[in-house]
């Protein structure tokens, strides 16, 4: 009986160690998925604001702003309100569809779920990662929660006129 209980104890210890190993591996994967590291010189683009820089909402304006940012050495990560597809193409568009429309990798585009305020997500990501935001929004309702909106140079503003992007604060 002693040999059986020793063998059972050894098996239990091995199972416990294996379980800890699996949990650590899963935890690492989940952590990597939860917070992907942005590229160097990353900026958060408030896509639902920027698409109006030329007047009516336009994927062409978004593409021009993204190209201008790339030309200046930035890597744009674009965040949209859930209704962006309806404003641009009269249908729902998820991350992948918006990424295709803008010719961006899917990891650089995020459409927030219905009921989520994109401004809050834009500011949360920018605050957590120390990134600048491309938007003409003043984010007045968010100044207390996200003091970064009052920091000089944190919000990059511009317009799209005559087919080109004109930066006011870049």
Q: pLDDT digit string (tens) for 40-52?
A: 789 999 999 999 9
Which strands sit side by side in the sheet containing 155-156, from one edge to the other? Answer: 109-111, 75-80, 42-46, 132-134, 155-156
pLDDT in tens, 70-101: 999 999 999 999 999 999 999 999 999 999 99
Residues 6+ apart with CB under 8 A from 20: none
Q: What is the pLDDT of residue 18?
A: 74
pLDDT in tens, 102-155: 999 999 999 999 999 999 999 999 999 999 999 999 999 999 999 999 999 999
Q: What is the pTM of this model?
A: 0.76
Ranking 47-51, 65-69, 144-148, 160-164 by mean pLDDT, the lowest is: 160-164
Q: What is the pLDDT of residue 85?
A: 94
Q: Which CATH architecture has domain 42-167?
A: 3-Layer(aba) Sandwich (3.40)
Nearest residue to 85 (alpha-carbon basis) of 114, 53, 64 = 114
Domain-wise residue ranges, the chain: 1-34, 42-167
């Amino acid at each position: 009986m002693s040999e059986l209980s020793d063998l059972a104890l050894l098996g239990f210890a091995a199972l416990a160690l294996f379980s800890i190993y699996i949990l650590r591996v899963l935890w690492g994967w989940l952590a990597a998925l939860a917070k992907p590291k942005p590229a160097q010189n990353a900026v958060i683009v408030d896509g639902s604001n920027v698409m109006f820089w030329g007047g009516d909402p336009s994927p062409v304006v978004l593409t021009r702003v993204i190209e201008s940012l790339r030309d200046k050495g930035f890597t744009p990560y674009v965040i949209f309100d859930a209704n962006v597809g309806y404003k641009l193409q009269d249908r729902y568009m998820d991350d992948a569809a918006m990424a295709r429309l803008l010719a961006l990798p899917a990891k650089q585009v995020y459409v927030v779920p219905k009921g989520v305020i994109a401004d809050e997500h834009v500011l949360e990501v920018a605050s957590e990662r120390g990134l600048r935001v491309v938007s003409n929004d003043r984010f007045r309702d968010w100044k207390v929660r996200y003091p970064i909106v009052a920091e000089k140079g944190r919000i990059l503003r511009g317009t799209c006129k005559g087919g080109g992007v004109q930066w006011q604060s870049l």
